[in-house]
């Protein structure tokens, strides 16, 4: 039998599967020995009153195992002998585009100017150690893109983006914690992100796609006004000597997923009269509060969050003279990272 229950319980009762099972036994008469599996479908914290509750929607499998996985898996089939498309950039946009191409039966050729996510770590450590920024491998450039070494928050307030469930499922299929499927404010975690990204790359390669690192797109190949491929410069380092090779890749379609820092790409397109459209930007300021203070205010208690509650957050949204003003994200306990993408650039900071 499968029971779906809506629970409103104390944080210490929601702390683990064991404590939830104990609650189910005490309040719903379900013998913990009969519980074969427990799935948390939704989790949120209600801190509006002095007593804080955790709202949980759970599925309890009593005397039977779940018949389906916790999320639908996508079957990525081989596209080895299928038509190709080039994807420039292996940030989230590029990686998800490549996986989607595979679903559609198209072979992705991914071109990334930076290094793979593990080698990129060394260049990122170098930025903090000696303030030297490698213009091709930094917080913005390299496999995983601009957010690869950040918190990996997945929460969006926007209602315009459609259903994001599939994105969460794809992350889970590549090693993210199942908690992102149920948390009201899901996040991947800095420690897990690199291996999730690597698993996505492995899916692309296993299906017959290609991933080229340290290969920077320099121009489009054009036939009349149609794009038929790209030119790129590959950098190889042997015995501390750097070699550069010019390459060209041909395919009937090119997806540009080069992110906000690829100024050279946009300058190139602008100079060639290729139509590009500026995107609105939001200008931000960083506010710092002691995490303990926010915990005290949001959880209405002097001792703060205690053992069973996560770091508290708040969000602020208002309109000023017809423009939206809103808090973007909170990163309790996070560090401020120097997200410059070039040696002469002022340090841009991201949390
Ligand atoms: C420090 C920091 C923290 C962040 N934290 C979060 C967060 O917690 N949650 C969240 O949702 N968002 C976060 N973001 C924002 C998020 O990272 C971006 O919205 C996201 O990375 C955009 O994805 P993208 O694929 O469009 O571009 P990008 O991630 O910028 O990827 C573009 C890729 O293209 C490559 N590229 C560029 N030019 C070329 C070229 N000529 N040839 C080949 N390759 C090229 C780059 O090397 C890069 O890998 C953060 C950003 C930063 C900087």
What confidence tens digit (pLDDT) does each residue in 210-220 have?
Answer: 999 999 999 99
Q: Give the mean model confidence (pLDDT) for residues 319-337.
A: 85
Q: Is the CB of 107 under 6 A from ligand 1?
A: no
Convert the pLDDT of each residue in 253-297 to its tens digit. Answer: 999 999 989 999 999 999 999 999 988 888 888 888 999 999 999
> What pLDDT, on the 0 to 100 scale, is given for residue 351?
47
Beta carbons of 112 and 256 less than 8 angstroms apart? no
Residues of the chain with CATH 3.30.70.2700: 2-62
Fold assignment, 2-62: Alpha-Beta Plaits (3.30.70)
Closest residue by CA, ligand 1 atom 27: 259
Strands 337-338 and 349-350: antiparallel
Q: Distance, CA 24 to ligand 1 centroid (Å)? A: 44
Answer whether residue 14 shows pLDDT above 90.
yes
Q: Distance, CA 94 to ligand 1 centroid (Å)? A: 9
Q: Distance, CA 145 to ligand 1 centroid (Å)? A: 4
* Residue from 119, 145, 153 to probe ligand 1 pocket by mutation (most atoms less than 8 Å from CB): 145
Residues of the chain with CATH 3.50.50.60: 84-271
Q: Is the CB of 265 under 6 A from ligand 1?
A: yes
Q: Distance, CA 150 to ligand 1 centroid (Å)? A: 11
Q: Please tell me the distance from the alpha carbon of residue 328 to that of residue 340, in angstroms, as a whole number.
A: 20
pTM here is 0.91
Q: Please tell me the distance from the alpha carbon of residue 177 to that of residue 171, in angstroms, as a whole number.
A: 8
Place of tokens 């306990």: 333
What ligand 1 atom has the least distance to the C-alpha of 92?
25
Q: Is the CB of 230 under 6 A from ligand 1?
A: no
> What pLDDT, on the 0 to 100 scale, is given for residue 342?
79
Convert the pLDDT of each residue in 54-73 to its tens digit. Answer: 999 999 999 999 988 889 99
Answer whether residue 348 shows pLDDT above 60.
no
Q: Is the CB of 111 under 6 A from ligand 1?
A: yes
Q: How many residues does the chain have?
A: 351
Percent of the chain surpassing pLDDT 90 = 72
Q: Distance, CA 92 to ligand 1 centroid (Å)? A: 7
Beta carbons of 43 and 56 less than 8 angstroms apart? yes
Q: Distance, CA 110 to ligand 1 centroid (Å)? A: 15
Q: Please tell me the distance from the alpha carbon of residue 87 to that of residue 215, in angstroms, as a whole number.
A: 12
Convert the pLDDT of each residue in 135-192 to its tens digit. Answer: 999 999 999 999 898 777 777 767 777 778 899 999 999 999 999 999 888 888 888 9
Q: What top-level class would CATH report for the domain 84-271?
A: alpha beta
């Amino acid at each position: 039998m499968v029971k779906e229950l809506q629970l409103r319980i104390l944080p210490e009762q929601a702390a683990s599967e064991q404590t939830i099972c104990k609650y189910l036994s005490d309040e719903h008469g379900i013998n913990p020995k009969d519980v074969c599996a427990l799935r948390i479908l939704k989790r949120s914290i209600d801190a509006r009153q002095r007593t804080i509750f955790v709202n949980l929607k759970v599925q309890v499998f009593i005397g039977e195992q779940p018949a389906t996985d916790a999320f639908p898996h996508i079957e990525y089939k081989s596209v080895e002998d299928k038509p190709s498309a080039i994807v420039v950039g292996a940030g989230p946009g590029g990686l998800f585009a490549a996986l989607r191409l595979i679903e559609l039966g198209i072979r992705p050729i991914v071109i990334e100017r930076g290094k793979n996510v593990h080698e990129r770590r060394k260049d990122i450590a170098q930025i903090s150690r000696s303030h030297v920024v490698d213009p091709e491998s930094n917080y913005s450039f390299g496999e995983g893109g601009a957010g690869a070494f950040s918190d990996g928050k997945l929460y969006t307030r926007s209602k315009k983006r459609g259903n994001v469930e599939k994105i969460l499922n794809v992350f889970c299929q590549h090693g993210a914690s199942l908690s992102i499927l149920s948390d009201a404010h899901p996040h991947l975690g800095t420690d897990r992100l690199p291996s999730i990204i690597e698993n996505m790359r492995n899916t692309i390669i296993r299906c017959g796609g290609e991933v080229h690192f340290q290969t920077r797109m320099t121009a489009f190949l054009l036939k009349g006004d149609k794009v038929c491929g790209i030119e790129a410069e590959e950098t190889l380092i042997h015995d501390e000597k750097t070699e550069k090779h010019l390459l060209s890749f041909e395919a009937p379609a090119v997806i540009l997923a080069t992110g906000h820092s690829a100024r050279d790409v946009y300058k190139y397109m602008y100079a060639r009269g290729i139509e590009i459209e500026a995107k609105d930007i939001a200008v931000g300021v960083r506010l710092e509060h002691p995490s303990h203070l926010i915990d005290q205010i949001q959880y209405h208690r002097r001792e703060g969050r205690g053992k069973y509650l996560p770091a508290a957050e708040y969000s602020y949204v208002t309109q000023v003279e017809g423009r939206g003003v809103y808090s973007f994200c909170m990163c309790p306990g996070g560090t401020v990272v120097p997200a410059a993408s070039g040696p002469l650039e002022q340090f841009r900071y991201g949390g």
